[in-house]
Amino acid sequence: MNYRTIWISDLHLGSTQCQADVLLDFLKHNDSEKLYLVGDIIDFWSLSKKMYWPRDHNTVIQKVLRKARHGTQVIYIPGNHDENVREYDQYVFGDITVKNSDVHTTFGGKQFLVVHGDEYDTIAKCHRWIAKLGSEGYDFLIWINRFLRVIRRWLGWQSNFSLAAFVKFKVKNVVQFISDYEVSIVSTLQDQGLDGVICGHIHHAEIKDIGGFLYVNTGDFVESCTAIVEHFDGTLELVKWHKTESVEDHNLAPINSTDMPDYSTSFGNAE
C-alpha cells in the first residue's frame, strides 16, 4: 500500500519484546512520502541492562534507512526510552531528521502536533523510578505472553491474545491512567490552534474526538502492531498489522469509525 504519511512508534528495538518480524513485514508492504518514527524506537533502557540486538532488529534499521535514501522523508521523534537522541534535535543522520516534536499538515489542511507523549505523562516526567518499575512489570507480562501464545496456538485458539492488554483493561487504575493521559494532552494543546495530536507512549492505539480535538495514538509494535496512516485525500486511518505470506492477504476492514467525516479507523488484514 502507498500512503501520504505513516506514523509508527514504540518499536522497542533492542528489547526481546519487539515484534520485529511483523514490523519488517509492515515496512515491506507499505510505503509513504513521509514516515514518522514517534519515539521509543530503540529501547536504551533494555540495552543498558542486557545487550540484545538480533539480525532482524538490524534489518529494521537498514529498511528504514533504505526508505530514506529512496526519497521517503523520515522524521525521528525520540521518546523516553530513547531520550538520549533528544540531544540531537534538528540533526540529520543518514537522511533521517531528528526532531523533538513536529507539526504535520494533512492534505486537507488539518494541523497535528506529532510528539511521543511522555511529556504529558506525570509519572514518566516526575517519577522516573516508578516509570522504570512499571516498564519492568510490563516486560514481564509480555515475556509470559510469548509462552501463552504458543499454548493457545497449540490448542487451536486465537494466538494474538495479549496478556498485558488484558491486564491493562482489567485494572481500574491503569484504565484511569490512560484516560488521564489523553485528557492531559488534549487540555494542554487544544488552545494552541491545532486540530489534534498524534502520539504514542502508552501502547494503546486510538483515534477519537475529544471536545472537537482529535486525539490519535499510534499504538506499538510490541503488543498490538498498529500504525496510523494518512491517505492521499487526507483521511487518517488506524491499521493493525498481522504478518502474512503475501500482500494480497492484507485486507482492510473498517472498525470504530469516528464521527468526524475526514477520518476513519480500520485494521489491516483483520482476522
What would the pLDDT profile of 155-181 be if each residue is shown by its tens digit? 665 556 555 555 555 544 555 667 788
**What proportion of the chain, given as a percentage, has pLDDT over 70?**
69
| 239-255: average pLDDT | 59
Query: What is residue 199's DSSP assignment?
Result: E
Confidence of residue 31 (pLDDT cuts 50, 70, 90): very high
Top-confidence residue, 214 or 146 = 214
Lowest mean pLDDT among 24-28, 167-171, 211-215, 231-235: 167-171
Domains of the chain by residue range? 2-116+196-268
**What does the pLDDT read at residue 257?**
36
Whether the Cβ atoms of residue 219 and residue 213 lie closer than 8 Å to each other: no
Over 104-165, what HEC string results? Answer: EECCCCCEEEECCCHHHCHHHHHCHHHHHHHHHHHHHHHHHHHHHHHHHHHCCCCCCCCHHH
**What does the pLDDT read at residue 206?**
94
Nearest CA to 38 out of 94, 111, 122, 99 is that of: 99
Top-confidence residue, 269 or 26 = 26
CA 106 and chain centroid, separation: 19
| 58-73: average pLDDT | 97
**What does the pLDDT read at residue 121?**
73
Which H or E run contains 168?
Answer: helix 163-168
What's the fold here for domain 2-116+196-268?
Answer: Purple Acid Phosphatase; chain A, domain 2 (3.60.21)
Tell me: pLDDT of 37 over 80: yes
Q: pLDDT tens digits, residue range 67-85?
A: 999 999 999 999 999 999 9
Q: Residue 25 to residues 10, 21, 128, 152, 212: CA-CA distances in angstroms?
A: 16, 6, 34, 23, 35
What is the Cα–Cα distance from 15 to 136, expressed in whole angstroms?
Answer: 12
Q: pLDDT tens digits, residue range 143-159?
A: 566 665 655 566 665 55
Whether the Cβ atoms of residue 38 and residue 68 lie closer than 8 Å to each other: no
Tell me: pLDDT of 267 over 50: no
**What does the pLDDT read at residue 80?**
92
To the nearest whole number, what is the mean pLDDT of the chain? 81
Top-confidence residue, 123 or 104 = 104
- Contacts with 28 (C-beta within 8 Å, 6 or more apart), sequence order: 63
Top-confidence residue, 228 or 152 = 228
What is the Cα–Cα distance from 119 to 101, expressed in whole angstroms?
Answer: 11
CA 263 and chain centroid, separation: 18
Provide the whole-model pTM.
0.77
Which H or E run contains 166?
Answer: helix 163-168
**What does the pLDDT read at residue 260?**
36
Residue reference for cell 474526538: 209
Confidence of residue 22 (pLDDT cuts 50, 70, 90): very high
Whether the Cβ atoms of residue 117 and residue 201 lie closer than 8 Å to each other: yes
